[in-house]
Amino acid sequence: MTSQSPRIYTYKITFEEVPYYYYGVKKEKKFNEDYMGSPVTHKWVWDFYTPKKQILEVFPYTDEGWLEAQEVESRIVKPVYNIDKWCLNKNCGGKISLEICRKTGKKVKELGIGIHGFTPEQKSENGKKGGKKGGKKTKELGVGFFGRTKEQMTEDGKKGGKITGKKIKELGIGIHGRTKEQMTEDGKKGYSNGLASITKEERTEIVAKTNSQRWMCLETEYVSTAGGLVSYQKGRKIDTSKNNRKRIS
């Protein structure tokens, strides 16, 4: 691997104007590619404010490195997850390696569970029904995923989970390849870069400054705070892009 090779790394996103922050893990396709996270729930924060990225730790560009990076991300987020209101992460952990995903998928197919539990004729019939009625009708028709009973899906999940968990432990990767000292250090990163990164006085000042901002919807001229305007526009199915709002104070 050269200095210009793609990387796997954990990162932290902060914003120039407000104390929001977000942790993530990235597997590059090319070295130093432009990437600022993949927000979903709080995408409006990225749109409203100016994000900055800090790379926290780089990992080997291997499947083991990918899994280790995800475990580290989880440990960084854990101390502040659902505790610090400025943390934008909406989940903590739950990821598995690309290699395990591939092997689990292969094993699931061998066991004939999930979609692989259908005969070719059943798959063909489900496809015809779904194609005619569209995605919204899939659940109503009870085809594909919805053609499985609750008991069948529970059993499928148990089988897949056992395969994944056992294999991860055997490989000694992820949490099983991390020393106690390393895991402790991961947790400290989350705290020192999250809750403890700014003083109480700084928080109070930033909150006051943020709440004093007023934004106007260019479609209806409704005025509110940044978050309030986004909620207003989403609730009325109004375009929430930057071109449809203006800061007035």
5-60 pLDDT, tens per residue? 999 999 999 998 888 999 999 999 999 999 998 877 888 899 888 899 999 999 99
Could you give the number of structural domains in the chain?
Answer: 3
133-191 pLDDT, tens per residue? 444 554 565 555 456 566 666 665 555 555 445 555 555 544 455 566 666 666 655 55
Mean pLDDT along residues 216-231: 87
Task: Give the pLDDT of residue 183.
Answer: 61
143 in any annotated domain: yes
Distance (Å, whole) CA 15 – CA 132: 47
1 in any annotated domain: no
Nearby residues of 21 by Cβ (< 8 Å), 6 or more positions away: 12, 13, 14, 15, 86, 87, 88, 193, 194, 197
Q: Which domain, by its residues, includes 217?
A: 213-249
Collapsed DSSP state (helix, strand, coil) of residue 201 = helix
2 in any annotated domain: no
Nearby residues of 27 by Cβ (< 8 Å), 6 or more positions away: 6, 8, 61, 66, 69
pLDDT band at 244 (very low <50, low <70, confident <90, very high): confident
